[in-house]
């Protein structure tokens, strides 16, 4: 075996880097501490500190809301016979039925600017979006048990995605509203610019109701059986298929405490070009904001127990 000569060995040692006596060698503990973040990644607080709203999480996980909504849209129209047509058939046939029964028999006076078919369909358009959003969000947490128990993310994104997916149905069903408005010769006025405002209030109402009901359904499963009756009662307690003017004056306060009343009246006033009942609209908006704040608080308070109860 050939041994390296002295010349090769000397070149080897000359090429090796020299360690300066002034070089500072940090221990492994100091290097590990230097790489840690300034703030802890997980902060556990006692329940005595109150409900943690964690509003920053909603913004940090905002892209997840988009993907959950897109998933619900795909699932809704997957393997369906009628598909998108059902979105139009449901409010359209309901409007035709109510027009035949209520308009011909009861003779509701909705004014010349808004014939009853257009009056009924405009109310059913918002009502269908609201009721479907609340019903779809009710069992959304239970149907996503595997996702809730394994991954951390803002849990309220699940019912919010179920409601947000209904915006596609609302947009498609609005095409019939546009066709009816053109057929009855609805004039183009500045009030039409406020239509998105009332659609947004309906969205917030559906979100607040959906968050509250979905959080309670996790613990009280029989709420799913009571909800259809409550939704049906809410329909007839709201001026969806009848004008608010037929309600006696002494019972008008019941309509005022219904947050949907001001939204429907404002939506129809914007469509017909009539004057707005701003006190009623402001009361409905305040009730919707209050309901949304209450639902957000209740959801955050019960969110930590979802993985154990569900």
Binned at pLDDT 50, 70 and 90, residue 13 comes out as very low
pLDDT at 154 over 80: yes
Q: Which two tokens stand for residue 250?
A: 């002494």
Cβ-proximal residues to 96 (8 Å cutoff; 6+ apart), any chain: 117
Q: Where are the domains of the chain?
A: 55-309
Which range, of 39-48, 71-80, 222-231, averages the lowest pLDDT? 39-48
pLDDT value at 1 more than 60? no
Q: Is the pLDDT of residue 8 over 60?
A: no
Average pLDDT of the chain to the nearest whole number: 82
In this prediction, residues 284-299 reach a mean pLDDT of 95
pLDDT band per the 50, 70, 90 thresholds, residue 82: low
pLDDT of residue 39: 52
Task: Supply the Cα-derived Rg of the chain in whole angstroms.
Answer: 30
Six-digit token pair at 80? 């369906």
Is residue 14 very low, low, confident or very high in pLDDT (cuts 50, 70, 90)? Answer: very low
Percentage of the chain beyond pLDDT 70 is: 79
Q: Which of 93-97, 147-151, 276-280 has the highest mean pLDDT?
A: 276-280
Tell me the whole-structure pTM to 2 decimals: 0.80
Mean pLDDT computed over 249-276: 91
For the segment 34-52, the average pLDDT, to the nearest whole number, is 53
Quickly state the pLDDT bin for 278 (edges 50, 70, 90). very high
**What does the pLDDT read at residue 137?**
92
- Mean pLDDT confidence for 166-183: 92
Tell me what the mean pLDDT of segment 133-156 comes to: 88
| Neighbour tally for 159: CB within 10 Å | 31
Given a cut of 80, whether residue 67 has pLDDT beyond it is yes
SS (H, E, C) the chain: CCCCCHHHHHHHHHHCCCCCCCCCCCCHHHHHHHCCCCCCCCCCCCHHHCCCCCHHHHHHCHHHHHHHHHHHHHHHHCCCCCCCHHHHHHHHHHHHHHHHHHHHHHCCCCCCCCCHHHHHHHHHHHHHHHHHHHHHHHCHHHHCHHHHHHCCCCCCHHHHHHHHCHHHHHHHHHHHHHHHHHHCCCCCCHHHHHHHHHHHHHHHHHHHHHHHHHHHHHHCCCHHHHHHHHHHHHHHCCCCCCCHHHCCHHHHHHHHCCHHHHHHHHHHHHHHCCCCCHHHHHHHHHHHHHHHHHHHHHHHHHHCCHHHHC
pLDDT tens profile 128-142: 999 999 999 998 988
């Amino acid at each position: 075996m050939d041994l390296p000569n002295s010349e090769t060995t000397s070149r080897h040692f000359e090429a090796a880097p020299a360690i300066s006596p002034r070089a500072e060698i940090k221990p492994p503990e100091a290097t590990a501490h230097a790489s840690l973040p300034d703030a802890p990644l997980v902060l556990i607080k006692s329940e005595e500190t109150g409900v943690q709203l964690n509003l920053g999480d909603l913004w940090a996980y905002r892209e997840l809301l988009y993907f959950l909504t897109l998933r619900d849209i795909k699932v809704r129209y997957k393997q369906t016979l009628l598909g998108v047509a059902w979105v139009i058939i449901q409010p359209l046939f309901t409007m035709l039925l109510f027009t035949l029964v209520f308009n011909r028999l009861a003779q509701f006076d909705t004014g010349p600017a808004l014939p009853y078919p257009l009056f009924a369909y405009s109310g059913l358009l918002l009502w269908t979006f609201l009721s479907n959003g609340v019903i779809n969000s009710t069992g959304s947490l239970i149907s996503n048990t595997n996702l809730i128990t394994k991954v951390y993310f803002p849990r309220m994104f699940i019912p919010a995605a179920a409601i947000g997916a209904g915006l596609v149905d609302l947009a498609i069903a609005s095409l019939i509203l546009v066709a009816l408005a053109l057929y009855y010769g609805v004039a183009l006025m500045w009030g039409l610019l406020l239509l998105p405002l009332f659609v947004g209030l309906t969205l917030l109402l559906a979100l607040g109701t959906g968050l509250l009901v979905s959080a309670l359904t996790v613990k009280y499963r029989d709420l799913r059986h009571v909800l259809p009756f409550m939704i049906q009662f809410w329909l007839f307690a709201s001026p969806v298929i009848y004008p608010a003017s037929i309600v006696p004056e002494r019972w008008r306060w019941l309509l005022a405490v219904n947050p949907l009343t001001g939204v429907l009246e404002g939506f129809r006033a914007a469509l017909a070009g009539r004057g707005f009942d701003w006190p009623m609209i402001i009361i409905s908006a305040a009730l919707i904001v209050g309901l949304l704040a209450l639902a957000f608080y209740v959801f955050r308070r019960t969110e930590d127990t979802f993985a154990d109860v569900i």
